[in-house]
Chains A and B, each alone.
Chain A
Amino acid sequence: MTSAERKEAISAYVFITPFLLAMIFMTGGPVLAAFGLSFCKWDILTPIQFVGLDNYKEMFFNDPRFWKALYNTAYFTFLSVPIGMVLSIMVAMLMNQKVKGIALYRTVYYLPSVLGTGVAVAVLWKWIFNADSGLLNYMISICTGIPMSECPKWLASEAWSKPALVIMSFWGVGGGMIIYLAGLQGIPTALYEAAEIDGANRWQQFWTVTLPGLSPVIFFQLIITIVNSFQIFNQVYVMTDGLGGPADSTLVMVLYIYQKAFKYYQMGYASALSWVLFIVIMLATWLQFQYSKWVYYEGELRK
């Protein structure tokens, strides 16, 4: 290394010191512990027992709920992420205008994200999804004329419970909207002006300027929302009282992990489940990075 390079490297390490400290002291230990636990049986009240690959064998060959949880999680992710993303971008674009009172609109759209996922929100959504007298079926019956008794039973039905969760996730588009707004602000107006001079109309400008300019942010959001969707927990927990019902139709991976760890006293198995989930997410993320040629960085990573 040249001395300039060495200087740069040292400088870099100083910059990332906080992160390194966190990794070594706060993340490393617990993660390794969780890894070790996955090869053991531990109910917290009695000593840890080493059981080798038993947990994993049980999981893959003897546990239908594991596969159900995996399926439910994938279903939710692959539905809510793409649709949510499109909605967020659309909303962000609408919010990027200088329309009167736009600050108020932005706040209103962000409001749901600020309410969190506590019991209050759960009560609210359970009311909305009530098959007999809830807001959603009421709106459906008004707009399409289908009587409320024929409307989907949402949280009470095995078939409609996951779509209900997906719909609930759309309420949080405000969160994504903020990120995309920040991204839109970062696209130089000069580029738009240049495109207009070249004769591009609004639609063409969107495809040639906006989207590419937004692509680093889209890439980021894609990864983040997929990671988060795979780990969805809070909403499902409060909406189904921790059961993942009806009939395990909303049992998502992290809920299953939580049940095993804190309701059924099986920390070892829960750790094993988490590692499998982790690998799945890693795989999904790696794939996205591999196929990320479409992302255009104005600034580029210094190679």
Chain B
Amino acid sequence: MADQIMNSVSSPDGFWASKRRIEKFTKIFTTVVLSVGAVTMILPVIWMLSTSFKSPTEVFAVPPIWIPSPLHFENYPKAWTISGMYASEGITFTTYTINTLIISVLSCLGVTSSSSLVAFAFARLRFPGRGPLFILCLATMMIPTQVTMIPTFILFKTIGWYDTYFPLIIPAFLGGGAYNIFLMRQFFMSIPYEMDEAAKIDGCTNFGVFWRILLPLCKPALTTVAVFSFVWNWNDFLNPLIYLDTNSKKTLALGLTNFVSLYGQDYHLLMAASLLIVIPLVVMFLLGQRYFIQGIATTGLK
């Protein structure tokens, strides 16, 4: 069957002979498949959206309510101000947002710069111990954080970084984690070495090769690393939980826990808050799209 399709695709006078037909079919097929998938992706989010407008008793109504009436718009301001729980300290989700922004932006910068530097060395430079060091790097990804959590905590606390943002940001500048280093390394390796050579012949230093030749070619990879690290930091819960004490320093992920506690859960507010904090990420992603569309890639070494 596959053979028949393939043959008919390449035979000069079959139904598919016309290139335009193929293109048109592909476009329609793509759109249909994508749409079905998109619905699957977005349906749960729509439920979250609809729940964010419900009253507490409607959240788990059976059969499920898709369009609550009335629409409780007040859930949003209520969630944002955490029902006034911290009114005396002036803390609302605005506070959390600013804190999280600081952490995420700084981490993002740190990760993109340091991981690409380190990855360049692993991909392009020769030095003793390169192999073992890279393995060591990968190995750090494989230890569950739950167990290094306490020793790491003791470490940070001993150097006085408890209740500060340092434990959340500094690691980003120190390589940004094995995942990002690994990712960048793979991308560097997909670029022909001849380009480095050409630049070197022209008198470029290592750093010059890195900065002028390889980095620009890796825009999709860099964007990926940036987006991932930003999103990860934005949603990170465990680290802020154990390192932050003062209420005014807490982050968005921690802020969400205000709606769920032993004696009561405000799911409608939780949904509202969860959707609100996702909006900046979505916007960022939409705007960053053009770095994913690269157009013409490395066209040649000439």
Residue of B nearest to A191 (CB): B297
- A97 partner, pick from B26, B37, B48, B235, beta carbons under 8 A: B26
Instruction: From known contacts A18-B118, A106-B292, infer whether A115 and B190 are also in contact, taking CB-CB under 8 Å.
Output: no
Q: Are B127 and A9 in contact (CB under 8 A)?
A: yes
For B191, what are the chain A residues with a Cβ–Cβ distance below 8 Å?
298-299
Tell yes or no: A3 within 8 A of B by CB: no
Complex Cα–Cα for A103 and B293 (A): 9
Q: Are A116 and B126 in contact (CB under 8 A)?
A: no
Complex Cα–Cα for A114 and B44 (A): 13
Complex Cα–Cα for A254 and B144 (A): 7
For A166, what are the chain B residues with a Cβ–Cβ distance below 8 Å?
none
- A5 partner, pick from B126, B270, B298, beta carbons under 8 A: B126
For B85, what are the chain A residues with a Cβ–Cβ distance below 8 Å?
none
Q: Are A118 and B6 in contact (CB under 8 A)?
A: no
Q: Are B183 and A114 in contact (CB under 8 A)?
A: no
Tell yes or no: A128 within 8 A of B by CB: yes
For B1, what are the chain A residues with a Cβ–Cβ distance below 8 Å?
none
Complex Cα–Cα for A253 and B146 (A): 11
Number of interface residues of A (CB under 8 A): 106
Instruction: From known contacts A97-B30, A190-B299, A281-B142, infer whether A15 and B120 are also in contact, taking CB-CB under 8 Å.
Output: yes
Q: Are A94 and B30 in contact (CB under 8 A)?
A: yes
For A199, what are the chain B residues with a Cβ–Cβ distance below 8 Å?
10
- A11-B125, A19-B175, A105-B38 given; name 8 further pairs at CB < 8 Å: A8-B125, A22-B175, A23-B136, A33-B148, A37-B147, A99-B27, A119-B270, A270-B147
Residue of A nearest to B257 (CB): A119
Shortest Cβ distance from residue A177 to the other chain B in the assembled complex, whole angstroms = 10
Ordered by A's residue number, 22 sampled pairs between the chains whose C-beta atoms are within 8 Å are A8-B125, A9-B126, A11-B125, A11-B206, A12-B125, A15-B121, A19-B118, A22-B171, A26-B174, A30-B148, A33-B148, A106-B289, A108-B41, A114-B278, A117-B235, A118-B237, A127-B64, A179-B183, A224-B179, A274-B147, A278-B142, A298-B191
- Contact residues of A with B, CB < 8 Å? 5, 8-9, 11-13, 15-16, 18-19, 21-23, 25-27, 29-31, 33-34, 37, 44, 91, 94-95, 97, 99, 103-121, 123-125, 127-128, 133, 135, 171, 174-175, 178-179, 181-183, 185-190, 199, 201-204, 213, 216-217, 219-220, 223-224, 227, 230-231, 233, 253-254, 257-258, 261-262, 267, 270-271, 273-274, 277-278, 281-282, 285, 297-302
Residue of B nearest to A128 (CB): B44
Complex Cα–Cα for A110 and B292 (A): 13
For B150, what are the chain A residues with a Cβ–Cβ distance below 8 Å?
44, 261, 267
- A8 partner, pick from B126, B192, B220, B267, beta carbons under 8 A: B126
Tell yes or no: B201 within 8 A of A by CB: no
Complex Cα–Cα for A108 and B27 (A): 19
Tell yes or no: B114 within 8 A of A by CB: yes
Residue of A nearest to B221 (CB): A182
For B151, what are the chain A residues with a Cβ–Cβ distance below 8 Å?
29-30, 33-34, 37
For A301, what are the chain B residues with a Cβ–Cβ distance below 8 Å?
123, 189
Q: Are B174 and A133 in contact (CB under 8 A)?
A: no
Q: Are B37 and A118 in contact (CB under 8 A)?
A: no
Complex Cα–Cα for A125 and B45 (A): 11
